[in-house]
A and B are shown apart, each in its own frame.
Chain A
Amino acid sequence: MSKKPVTQPALHKVIMVGSGGVGKSALTLQFMYDEFVEDYEPTKADSYRKKILLDGEEVQIDILDTAGQEDYAAIRDNYFRSGEGFLCIFSITEDESFQATQDFREQILRVKNDENIPFLLVGNKCDLEERRKVSYQEASDRAKQWGVTYVETSAKTREHVDKVFFDLMREIRARKMEENKTNNGRGKDKNKRKKLKCVIL
């Protein structure tokens, strides 16, 4: 315990992606500050840091809330590269946003060059059941195809908001531990090689 102030808590970097207006910022703000903002204001990029307890362990989460609009696609890569986990968000009331998740997924895989990057497919606005355009089945099928989890959330009612972030962080943590293991097991040389080539786990 006395070590705590010396060693920085683990830092997990989460990136929110998805089309414009699906509720990336709303989810982030709900998670960060327990607030729900009604008025829509397009994000360019915003970054937050929060200390949380993840299964009894103190960790820090860095959340990067990206722009849904294509206008900012140029700076997106710079952020994607440094992300450790991704929440890919669409609105269940808008099919277009669901279709766009495919592009986002591809883009992330291209930048990260890693099929197993921690990733969650998130259907937001599940409080608007009456306006649903994307069925649960459809979305979870896609998630299954990608090998990721599908969760439906509502930034308004806070349903599953914590869940998506915590689930993703657990994935990131598991992933990091796995990486450490392989690194330690194989020694330094392998470590160096790892830098050059991607590893398929």
Chain B
Amino acid sequence: MDFESPDVMKDFPGLYASDVHKAKSNDIEYGEDAEKVTKKDILIGKRKEKKDKKDKERGYAALEGESSAEESYEVSPSKSKKSKSFKFPTKSKEKREKSRDKEKEVTEKKKDKDKRVDKKIEKDKCKVEKKEKKVKSEDWCDIAEVLPIFGVNLKLAIEHGRCHDGIDLPVPVRACIDYVEDYGLTFENVYKISAPKSKVIHIKKLYNQREHVNLVDYDVPTATSLLKMFLRDLPEPVFTSELLIRFEEAGAILNVALREKHLKILVGNLPQHNRLLLSWIITHFYNVTLNEKYNKMNAQNLALCMSSTLQTSHRLLTALLCHCPALFPDTVLERYIYPLTSSSQLPDDPELMEQELQKQESLLTQIHSEMNVGFISKQREELLWEVQRIITQLKRKLKTANKDREQLFEKIDEQQNEEIVENTQITQPSPTASYEPETTPVQISENVEETKSVENVTASETIIVPETNVSDSPNLAVLHKQVIKEAEPEEVEFVESESREFKNALEILQIRNGFLSELRDSFIKQIEEDRAEIAVLKNQLTQRDWTPVYGDANCASLDEIMDLLQKENQILQIKKINLVRQIMEQQEACIDLKTKIDAYSKHNLFA
């Protein structure tokens, strides 16, 4: 719309000074949903005030205004037309430029829809910057105006200046808070002293252009002023226009408990992003006030400094600061660590890798979305490939790490198996003898008891069903049990020597898992064997059924068959009972083992 106005002026030179034009430009500028109340106020019929403000601003704006605005309009070829239109008396020219400055600021802050019109302004601006810095390319300027971080509503600011660690706050906010938390808490009159505006505006531009900003290169007042500027530039107060009055009301309540209660409810009513931002800012300010001894900023002072920035009353802010621990108990000001670049070392810890991968993927998504909007440049493409490469590397590394871990597990399993084999070899000749010196007497007696009982079972079974080899499986089970009992302390011992608690716990769990699965396998085996046997028996039954019926069908043979069937049924039932008993015993043994493992691990921990 900057382009529009000169034309309008050419046609109607007098129009510029009139309110009609003001209103018009107003319409154009604030046609968006994102309206900034204060800006609007300034623009609507408060020219005088604006003038005053401008005059005030001259002091610092002079430098920038002269080196940027005027210069660019003279030099840039696209403006040649315009320079013709500057036929007005100096006064109006001055005014014009002022308003231009103003508009520029506004456009910089707003807009992501009036793209095409604004682009030209931006290009000019870009040229200015080129003159100033001689480093930036045109492409980098585009994004500052299409997808700015400053001066858009909070949601867009978060989107444009996304932190890739999952905390939805705009990057500048995080950076400022991090910096002040690190270096500014003991800085005297922090948040009271402000930095030169030109400096802050410069950093703002850098942020809008997605240049990397390192606040460490600046000082505390710059960081605090930048944060203030971000908050002031928000089109809507952090407390939202609807809730602001209610917040004020709540802040005015005298009863402390009631005030806290009301504020808490209101904070809960805030949109998610606003609540998060508020929680961080207030928690941060609270930290500042905690260092009052050094920085001389108590809640009162700080509230005084920040109330206008947050478009709220001093009273409300003081109240929020005083209730901060109650209002935002869970807020932790987590430091923001930028996604890695290709030059940095990738993490080795799988967890960190996972985190980094998420960050990089978030960054990649953002780059894609920015490119889809049309923000394409060589650097961006370079970045896209780079980020993609890091992601690929991370994924690869993660994969190999996981593979290594699996291999480690397999190794442990193998070790276990080997031990089991060893143990079985040793225990086979004399299952009841406990060759382990570490085993406690209780354990030994248990072993003896259990093996005995199971042996009894085996004996009974072998007597009842001599033709099947089911009897082997209880034996196996006995061995297993034995193995479990004896391998366990050894394993624990081995772990103990390693004296790494975490590893201990992990390995014990794995051991337990391994043995449990072994138990399960043996059960499955037994069940299968039994099933096979049942099938065999059934076959036998049917065979016997048919032969007598067709051979010699007399009552005696029928009785015989009945007897046989009943016998077999009995046998099967006994077997079933035995199996159930075995299962029960196994389970008991399992529970025993579990408790013992726990005891051992605890013992290890204490040792």
**A interface residues (Cβ-Cβ under 8 A, vs B):** 13, 45-49, 62, 64-65, 74-75, 78-79, 81-82
Contacts and interface: CB of A to CB of B under 8 A. Distances in A.
5 contacts: A47-B389, A48-B392, A62-B389, A64-B385, A74-B368
A46 B385 CA distance: 9
Contact of B388 (A46, A74, A81): A46
B381 A81 contact: yes
B231 interface: no
Contact of A81 (B367, B376, B389): B376
B579 interface: no
Contact of B391 (A46, A49, A74): A46
B381 A47 contact: no
Interface residues of B, number: 13
Given A78-B384, A82-B381, A48 B389 contact: yes
Contact of A47 (B368, B372, B385): B385
A64 B388 contact: yes
B392 A46 contact: yes
A82 B391 contact: no
B293 interface: no
A111 to B, nearest CB: 11
Contact of B372 (A13, A49, A74, A79): A74
Contact of A78 (B372, B392, B395): B372
Interface in B385-419: 385, 388-389, 391-392, 395
Contacts of B395: 46
Nearest to B376: A81
B371 interface: yes
Nearest to B367: A78
A79 B392 CA distance: 15
Contacts of A47: 385, 388-389, 391-392
A62 B392 CA distance: 12
Name, among A47, A49, A74, A81, the residue most crowded by chain B CB atoms within 10 Å (CB to CB). Answer: A47
A173 to B, nearest CB: 19
Contacts of B384: 78-79, 82
Given A47-B391, A49-B389, 9 more contacts: A47-B385, A47-B392, A48-B392, A74-B368, A74-B372, A75-B368, A78-B371, A81-B381, A82-B384
By DSSP majority rule, is chain A's interface helix, strand, loop, or mixed? Answer: strand
B81 to A, nearest CB: 21
Name, among B367, B376, B389, the residue most crowded by chain A CB atoms within 10 Å (CB to CB). Answer: B389
Contacts of B376: 78, 81
A10 to B, nearest CB: 15
Contacts of B388: 45-47, 64
A34 B368 CA distance: 31
Nearest to B381: A82
A65 B389 CA distance: 10
Contacts of A74: 368, 372
Name, among B367, B371, B388, B395, the residue most crowded by chain A CB atoms within 10 Å (CB to CB). Answer: B388
B535 to A, nearest CB: 39
Given A47-B392, A48-B392, A62 B368 contact: no
A129 B549 CA distance: 64
Contacts of A48: 389, 392
Contacts of A45: 388
A16 to B, nearest CB: 13
Name, among A13, A75, A81, the residue most crowded by chain B CB atoms within 10 Å (CB to CB). Answer: A75
Contacts of A75: 368
A83 to B, nearest CB: 10
Contacts of B381: 78, 81-82
A82 B385 contact: yes
Name, among B368, B381, B392, the residue most crowded by chain A CB atoms within 10 Å (CB to CB). Answer: B392
A64 B385 CA distance: 8
Nearest to A29: B396
Given A78-B371, A78-B372, A81-B376, A62 B391 contact: no
Nearest to B370: A78
Interface in B344-369: 367-368
A79 B368 CA distance: 9
Contacts of B389: 47-49, 62
A79 B395 CA distance: 19
Interface string B446-486: 00000000000000000000000000000000000000000
B372 A62 contact: no
Contacts of A65: 392
A46 B376 CA distance: 20
Nearest first, the 7 A-B pairs at minimum CB distance are A47-B388, A82-B381, A46-B392, A47-B389, A78-B371, A75-B368, A47-B392
A103 to B, nearest CB: 21
Contacts of A62: 385, 389
Contacts of A64: 385, 388
B368 to A, nearest CB: 5
A78 B385 CA distance: 10
B381 to A, nearest CB: 4
Contacts of B367: 78
Interface in B580-600: none
